[in-house]
Each structure stands twice: as structure tokens, then as C-alpha cells.
């Protein structure tokens, strides 16, 4: 047994091992943040939206991990991964939707538009999922490259671009929102928005890096960064948990809205 560039045994699939690792980190982040929020009583909508992001991303990573059970059978693996990728990305898209909803919930002028975000986002999810299923489950399915020890997902370019668009529309406003808060706050009050900003910035790097990975080292690095981003976002939620996300200064003004509950 020898080792590849990602320091894993050659007979252990890098893609499977890393997605399982990331899924565990995300589930732990969700459980830990949920417990801390419940104990503090800080069940504000923005906090719950961000916590739902952890859960849905954990389910997404799990859907990409399960198909490796059939790795020894090429045809079964390809079908299982095609289904896992298609179904898993539904949860990925919904996770991004919760980030968008969090941003809208933090901005008073956008709070009333939450339902619009949900409707438009879910319609987009349905459309992209149908295309994903047609081009992958009933089209070109993923295959496992035993030479590089990696999975080639063979994602349709339109589906890949849709993922980028959804992530940009959700993550970029979040980075701007909390990034501005970092510069507007002082002392320990700056830690919370700083953790959230760093977490979202790393997510934005890890996603594209994961898509362009052509080696075990790059793939493992992308998933490791994904796990780090979840840890930072989780710390951002639980740090001074009594201060809700909507108590962080937003664009142009500070929001103190304890009534913005679920």
C-alpha cells in the first residue's frame, strides 16, 4: 500500500474520504451551534438561517459520500454518484438560499422580500435540478479515475454555471455585509463579524477550487478549506452568542431588533 499526494492510502478514494470528513465537520458545526443557540435563547431568524446552512451543507456532503459504498462496481457507482450528485445539490442550493435569506433578514429594507427570495430560489432549484438529472443521471454519468484516485463528475457546464451564480448571489452580499461590520466595530465586538467574513470568504475560494481540482492534493485542499470555513462560521455564530446576528452593524446603520424572531 502506497500513498498519493494527499497523504491517503492509494486504495482509499480521496473524493470519498474528504467529502465524508467535510460532512462530519458540518454536522458537528450544526449540532454545536444548535445546542449553544438553544441554551442561550438567541433563536433569531438570521441565526437560524445560518444554522440551517450548516445542516443542508452537511446533507449535501453526505449525498456525495454515500455512493462510494458501490465503488467496487463501476456501473453501480456511476449511477449512485449521478443520483447522489443531483439530489445532493438540491440541498446545496437550499443552503445558499438560507444565506440569501439571512442577508435579507439582517437588512430592514429587505425583510419583507423574504417570500420573494424563497419562491424565485425554489423555482431556480427545480429548473437546475431537472437539467442536472437529464444531463447526468440520463446523460454523462460520473466515473472514478483509479489512476488519480479521483471522481470525474462530468458536470454539464450550464449546471456548473448555475452553482456559481447561486453562490455569488448569496455569499458575496454576506461577505460585504459582515466585512463592513468589521470596519465599523471595535474591540471584541469585531470578532464576531470577522469570523463570519473569513468563513464566507473561504467558502468562496473552496467552491471553485473544488470544481477545478485535477489532483488529489488540490481536491483535498478544497475540502479542507470547506471544513475550515464551516468551523469559522460556527464560531461566528456561537461567539458571544447572546449577541444575535442582527445586532451586528449593517450597511449604513446599526440594527437592534430583538423582535425579529421566527
- Quick: pLDDT tens for 78-87: 999 999 999 9
Any idea where the domains of the chain sit in the sequence? 14-247
Q: What pLDDT was estimated at residue 248?
A: 45
In the predicted model, is pLDDT for residue 58 greater than 80? yes
Question: CA gyration radius for the chain?
Answer: 19
Q: Could you say which DSSP state residue 134 is in?
A: I
Which CATH entry fits the domain spanning 14-247: 1.10.8.80, 1.20.1070.10, 1.10.150.120, 1.10.486.10? 1.20.1070.10
Q: What pLDDT was estimated at residue 244?
A: 58
Q: How many angstroms separate the CA atoms of 97 and 166, rounded?
A: 8
Q: How many angstroms separate the CA atoms of 201 and 218, rounded?
A: 18
pLDDT tens figures, 189-223:
788 888 999 999 999 888 777 766 677 778 788 88
This prediction's pTM: 0.84
The Cα-based distances of 97 to 11, 51, 56, 90 in angstroms read 37, 12, 10, 11
Which of 20-34, 85-99, 115-129 is the least confident region?
Answer: 20-34
CA atoms within 13 A on the CB side of 114: 17
Percentage of the chain with pLDDT > 70? 85
Q: How many angstroms separate the CA atoms of 47 and 252, rounded?
A: 21
Amino acid at each position: 500500500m502506497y500513498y498519493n499526494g494527499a497523504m491517503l492510502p492509494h486504495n482509499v478514494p480521496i473524493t470519498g474520504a474528504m467529502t465524508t470528513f467535510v460532512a462530519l465537520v458540518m454536522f458537528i458545526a450544526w449540532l454545536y451551534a444548535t445546542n449553544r443557540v438553544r441554551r442561550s435563547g438567541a433563536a433569531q431568524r438570521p441565526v437560524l438561517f445560518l444554522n440551517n446552512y450548516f445542516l443542508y451543507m452537511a446533507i449535501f456532503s453526505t449525498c456525495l459520500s454515500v455512493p462510494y459504498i458501490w465503488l467496487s462496481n463501476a456501473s453501480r457507482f456511476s449511477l449512485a454518484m449521478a443520483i447522489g450528485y443531483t439530489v445532493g445539490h438540491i440541498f446545496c442550493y437550499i443552503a445558499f438560499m438560507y444565506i440569501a435569506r439571512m442577508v435579507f433578514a439582517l437588512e430592514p429594507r429587505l425583510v419583507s422580500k423574504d417570500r420573494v427570495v424563497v419562491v424565485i430560489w425554489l423555482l431556480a432549484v427545480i429548473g437546475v435540478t431537472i437539467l442536472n438529472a437529464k444531463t447526468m443521471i440520463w446523460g454523462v454519468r460520473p466515473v472514478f479515475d483509479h489512476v488519480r484516485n479521483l471522481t470525474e463528475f462530468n458536470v454539464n457546464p450550464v449546471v456548473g454555471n448555475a452553482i456559481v451564480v447561486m453562490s455569488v448571489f448569496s455569499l458575496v452580499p454576506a461577505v460585504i455585509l459582515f466585512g463592513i461590520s468589521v470596519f465599523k466595530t471595535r474591540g471584541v465586538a469585531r470578532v464576531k463579524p470577522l469570523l463570519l467574513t473569513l468563513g464566507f470568504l473561504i467558502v468562496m475560494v473552496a467552491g471553485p477550487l473544488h470544481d477545478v481540482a485535477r489532483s488529489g492534493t488540490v481536491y483535498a485542499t478544497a475540502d479542507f478549506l470547506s471544513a475550515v470555513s464551516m468551523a469559522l462560521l460556527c464560531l461566528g455564530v456561537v461567539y458571544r452568542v447572546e449577541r444575535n446576528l442582527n445586532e451586528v452593524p449593517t450597511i449604513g446603520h446599526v440594527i437592534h431588533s430583538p423582535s425579529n424572531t421566527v
